[in-house]
Amino acid sequence: MSNPSLLILPGDGIGPEVMTEVRKIIDWYGTKRDLAFDVSEDLVGGAAYDKHGTPLHDDTMAKAQEVDAVLLGAVGGPKYDVLDFSVKPERGLLRLRKEMDLYANLRPAQCFDALADFSSLKKNVVAGLDIMIIRELTSGVYFGEPRGIIKEGNERVGINTQRYTESEIERVARSGFEMARKRGNKLCSMEKANVMESGVLWREVVQRIGDTEYPDVELSHMYADAGAMQLTRWPKQFDVIVTDNLFGDLLSDLAAMLTGSLGMLPSASLGAPMANGRPKALYEPVHGSAPDIAGQGKANPIACILSFAMALRYSFDQGDEATRLEQAVEKVLADGYRTADLLGEEGRSPVSTSEMGDAVVAALDASLS
């Protein structure tokens, strides 16, 4: 049988830096666990624009549709701020999500013990935290029509449309309920049904799917603004959260800081099952291209490394190996390795991106003895 295929899209800024570390991990699995991948690499975002004049070449899009999984670094950067909206780096990523129909974006936020002191919140609020945000990723205000900037009289108007069909809500709700069943059997759905019709429909549909298909799962609803407040007040009240595209974008950045740093948070974007039964999938860190630290060897590669762990679990049926990698990361943190984003005012000297990657590889080696 041929090896599972993986398309790597490092992208811009710190994307290529953190991906270099993930390549070390992928190589380790090939040589030490007899788990080899057919890896191909291509351009996305500003890097693709520089070469092709588009943030995602059609050939790359086609490749992404064919492989077992895509692993992406990050896109964007100030250099591209002047570009027309239609060719901005971020459009490349949005096209991948939309055309692969990756409607369920899993964003786990887990606070590693070694980092509980480092969060900007009190230790007892975040210690042991383990929640999963499921963000709808292919609809809502990110994609709704009409959109644009139009002229009205003598001024311009910026327009975006929040739009959800029942079936779009149903399928992501099911992702939420299924995930809840695998975890603490508790799902909280967030919208703003108090002010938005799309929120009214969202709440109604999630409730119906719960009543008819998942009566065993404890379901609650919360307005998304109150949800943000509760996430900072006492995040451990949550297990799985399901929410729309824009609220999920905001709430997952917030959740990242509960864990210590945006440099820690992985994600999996999953679509419908392919012929092999596995979902179409793209894995990427939640963070962006971090232009303020790009090129300096300061980036934390853990979010991207943990994204590969999610690929092992959700695309390659290697749950045990995913756990091995997550435990290696935990060990490295417990041993005191810290990139600059995890140091605060402690006065210790940070390790570099590549030292962190090497430490994870060493911890993987140690896991075999």
Quote the CA–CA distance of 281 and 273 in Å, as a whole number: 9
Side chain identity, residue 287: H
Q: Does 289 bind ligand NAD (CB under 6 A)?
A: yes
Q: 41 phi and psi, to 5 degrees?
A: -130, 145
DSSP state of 247: H
Quote the CA–CA distance of 137 and 125 in Å, as a whole number: 29
225 is catalytic: yes
Minimum gap (Å) between residue 266 Cβ and ligand NAD: 11
Q: Does 99 bind ligand IPM (CB under 6 A)?
A: no
| CA-to-CA dists, residue 369 to 27, 364, 365, angstroms | 19, 9, 7
Among 140, 227, 248, 263, binds ligand NAD (CB under 6 A): 263
Minimum gap (Å) between residue 264 Cβ and ligand NAD: 8
The pairing of strands 130-136 and 104-110 is: antiparallel
Catalytic residue among 27, 101, 225, 317: 225
Q: Does 260 bind ligand NAD (CB under 6 A)?
A: no
130 is catalytic: no
Catalytic residue among 192, 280, 298, 331: 192
The residue (of 239 and 326) whose beta carbon lies closer to ligand NAD is 326
CA quadruple 313, 99, 303, 223: dihedral positive or negative?
Answer: negative
Burial 55-90 (b: 16+ CB within 10 A, else e): bbbeebbebbeebbbbbbbbbbbeebeeeeeebbbb
Residues recorded for the chain: 369
Minimum gap (Å) between residue 253 Cβ and Mn ion: 6
Catalytic residue among 29, 49, 103, 142: 142
Q: 147 phi and psi, to 5 degrees?
A: -145, 160
- Binding span for ligand NAD by CB under 6 A among 72-80, 128-136, 162-170, 268-276: 72-80
Q: Does 83 bind ligand IPM (CB under 6 A)?
A: no
27 is catalytic: no
Binding mask 241-270 for ligand IPM (x = CB under 6 A): --------x---------------------
Distance of CA 110 to the CA centre of its chain: 13
DSSP 39-67: EEE---THHHHHHHSSSS-HHHHHHHHHS
84 is catalytic: no
Q: Does 245 bind ligand NAD (CB under 6 A)?
A: no
Hey, which residues between 301 and 330 contact ligand NAD (CB under 6 A)? 303
Q: Does 91 bind ligand NAD (CB under 6 A)?
A: no
Side chain identity, residue 305: I
Minimum gap (Å) between residue 312 Cβ and ligand IPM: 21
3-state SS class at 278: coil
Structure tokens at 225: 């603004």
Minimum gap (Å) between residue 100 Cβ and ligand NAD: 15
Q: Does 77 bind ligand NAD (CB under 6 A)?
A: yes
Q: Does 109 bind ligand NAD (CB under 6 A)?
A: no
Q: Which residues bind ligand NAD (CB under 6 A)?
A: 14, 18, 74-77, 90, 93, 262-263, 284, 287-293, 299-300, 303, 341
> Active-site residues: which are they?
142, 192, 225, 249, 253
Q: Which residues bind ligand IPM (CB under 6 A)?
A: 76, 90, 93-94, 249, 286, 288
